[in-house]
Structure 1
Amino acid sequence: MQRYFVNGVISENRFAINGEDFHHINRVMRMTQNDKIICVAPNGKSAECTIVKMTAESIEAEVVQWIESSSELPINMTIVSGLPKGDKLEWIIQKGTELGAHRFIPFTSARSIVKWDEKKAAKKLDRWKKIAKEASEQSHRTIIPEINSPLNLKEILDHSKSYDIKLIAFEEKGKQGEASAFSKAISSMDIGQSLMIVFGPEGGLTTEEVSLLEKNGFVSCGLGPRILRTETAPLYVLAAVSYHFELME
């Protein structure tokens, strides 16, 4: 059953759908009155709905039953990625959303080859948000992850103050055989707590960046004996967190 995040709330049990979602339902899925969809309300609650009215520009859907189960990770995960080349960040956002990340923050690392173009910023950010929305619908999330515009390292440090656990994925730790810091960190967490983890771009983080992060409460950790690409490492971490909190019961 197709899932849509809706902003048009007519009443407690009726939603209005327009814009791109209306186009998708009407033109792509070719749905008609009485077809069923899942609507996710602005408060994160989802419901099985029936299409009860269709006009040339909008659709009204009425709640059949509210869905009580949640597909969200039990901890709040923020992925901080040094700006990578090409469409790698789009891949991280898409797959990271499917794996349960709550927030993505790109940052301008010293070794980021890509330079953030403010003239194209709004268009780029809109694209990232659209990717996150579509991935949330596909993976039956009840929230759409927040996507930040790229920040510098000082801004990252300011944002990190509210997090319970703060980690750095640092490949030098992996080369040295360090294998316990990441495991200890997630094992120490309780449901509902928050985790921020920083990943470098293709060239990795500099020792100066790592040192500054560590001075501000971050813990460096390896992610096993293999060196992972910048677009692979966040997915490894999210999968490990999911296994620990959702499958090890």
Structure 2
Amino acid sequence: MSSLFYADDLADRDGGALVTVDGREAHHAAVNRLRVGEQILLGDGRGTLADASVEAVSPTSVSFRIGDPRRQERPTPEIWLAQALAKGDRDELAIQAATEVGVSGVIPLQAARSISRWSGPKVEKGVTRWTSIVREASKQAIRAWVPEVTAPLPPADLVADGDAVLVLDPRADVRLADAVRTVPDSTRRIVLAVGPEGGFTPEELTRLEDAGAVLVVLGDTVLRTSTAGPAAIAVTNVALGRW
């Protein structure tokens, strides 16, 4: 199955129903040059999937005849990426690749050393932009669930009950894979925190540790902020036995 399209109301449809999409999904179809009779996968981005065939194509809409919808549950524990805002498009590259390797959610971090800053109207614009990035990356990766994008947080507010927060720090003594293997079974989310260029400040690391976060090292080299998160997610997937 090479193409995935999203229809928000898929979960409410029965097998054999005709589902029509428009807007950006129709544009996606045009880019992929869909033809009547082609077999694709339809989802709602919230765990529902259905095999579908293309019934009609126009410049503004595409109609699909769906098979019986099926449900795919979210993994437990979920893997989240707390990505510090970074200059250029490095933070966007990070969340795009993180989506492809299976992240369940993304938290924008307003770190002290972040050159990029979201404030005022930039907050809504930034969240909307990241939401669009993870949605498109989810389609490319054929994912049943589109990752959630939260409002931005400072690192000090990152630790929440039921979460295991693992903060990437090249000076840490604990290996990421070892930390993941010792996460309690009751853990709701594993949150991997990645700092901006220059990393987290000592004060931020102290606050995170005091709140219950664990500082971990990914490997023997220091990765860019754009690659550290996706690499950490890959290691976490292996340590959890998912890969």
TM range (shorter): 0.7 to 0.9
- Preserved CA contact (<8 Å) 2:174 2:215: no
Instruction: Measure the CA separation in 1 of the matches of 2:216 and 2:46.
Output: 35
Q: Where do 5+ consecutive residues of structure 2 fail to align?
A: none
- The equivalent of 1:156 in structure 2 is 158
Aligned partner of 2:162: which letter? Answer: S
Matched, 1:45 2:43: no
Does the 8 Å contact 1:179/1:224 carry over to 2? Answer: no
Following TM superposition, by how much is the alpha carbon of 1:94 offset from its aligned partner in structure 2, in angstroms?
0.5
Q: Tell me how far 1:236 sits from its aligned partner.
A: 1.7
Aligned residues: 238
C-alpha change, 1:247 and 1:193, in structure 2 (3 Å) is same
Q: Give distance in 2, aligned partners of 1:36 and 1:44.
A: 20
Equivalent residue, structure 2, for 1:183: 177
Amino acid across the alignment from 1:114: S
What residue in structure 2 maps to residue 108 of structure 1?
110
Instruction: Give 1:197's match in structure 2, choosing from 189, 192, 196.
Output: 192
Give the RMSD, CA atoms, in angstroms.
2.5
Q: 1:118 aligns with which of 120, 125, 128?
A: 120
Moved more, 27-36 or 91-100: 27-36
Paired residue for 2:234?
Answer: 239
Runs of 5+ consecutive residues of structure 1 not aligned to the other structure: none
Q: Distance in 2 between matches of 1:191 and 1:142?
A: 24
Q: State, as a whole percentage, how many aligned pairs show the same letter.
A: 26
Give me the whole-angstrom Cα distance separating, in 2, the residues matched to 1:120 and 1:24.
27
Measure, in 2, the Cα distance between the counterparts of 1:148 and 1:138: 22
State whether structure 2 residue 21 is matched by structure 1 residue 17.
yes
Contact in 2 for aligned 1:22/1:57 (Cα 8 Å) = yes
TM-score computed with the length of structure 1 as normaliser: 0.84
Choose the corresponding residue for 1:97, options 93, 96, 99.
Answer: 99
CA contact (8 A) 1:98 1:139 kept: yes
Counterpart-to-counterpart distance in 2, 1:217 and 1:168 = 11
Q: 1:50-89 to 2 correspondence within 5 Å?
A: 50-54=53-57, 57-64=60-67, 66=69, 75-89=77-91
- Identify if the C-alpha distance between structure 1 residues 75 and 39 changes in structure 2 by more than 3 Å, giving closer, same or farther: same
1:224 Cα deviation (Å)? 2.0
Contact kept? 1:34, 1:50, Cα under 8 Å: yes
Q: Residue 73 of structure 1 contacts residue 100 of structure 1 at CA under 8 Å; is this kept in 2?
A: no
Which letter does structure 1 place at the counterpart of 2:178?
K
Deviation of residue 221 (structure 1)? 1.3
Please show how residues 205-220 of structure 1 align to structure 2 within 5 Å.
Answer: 205-220=200-215
Paired residue secondary structure (1:122): helix
Cα offset for 1:243?
2.0
| TM-score normalised by length of structure 2 | 0.86
Deviates more, 1:221-230 or 1:87-96: 221-230
Counterpart-to-counterpart distance in 1, 2:141 and 2:204? 34
Cα drift, residue 56 of structure 1: 5.9
Does 2:7 match 1:6?
Answer: yes
Which secondary structure state, in structure 2, belongs to the residue aligned with residue 232 of structure 1?
helix
Distance 1:68 1:154 in 2: 36
State whether residues 8 and 16 of structure 1, in contact with CA within 8 Å, keep that contact through their aligned partners in structure 2.
no
The residue number in structure 2 matching 1:146 is 148
The one-letter code matched in structure 1 to 2:36 is: Q
For 1:55 and 1:232, the matched residues in 2 are separated by: 39
Map of 1:226 onto structure 2: 221
Name the amino acid aligned to 1:139: A
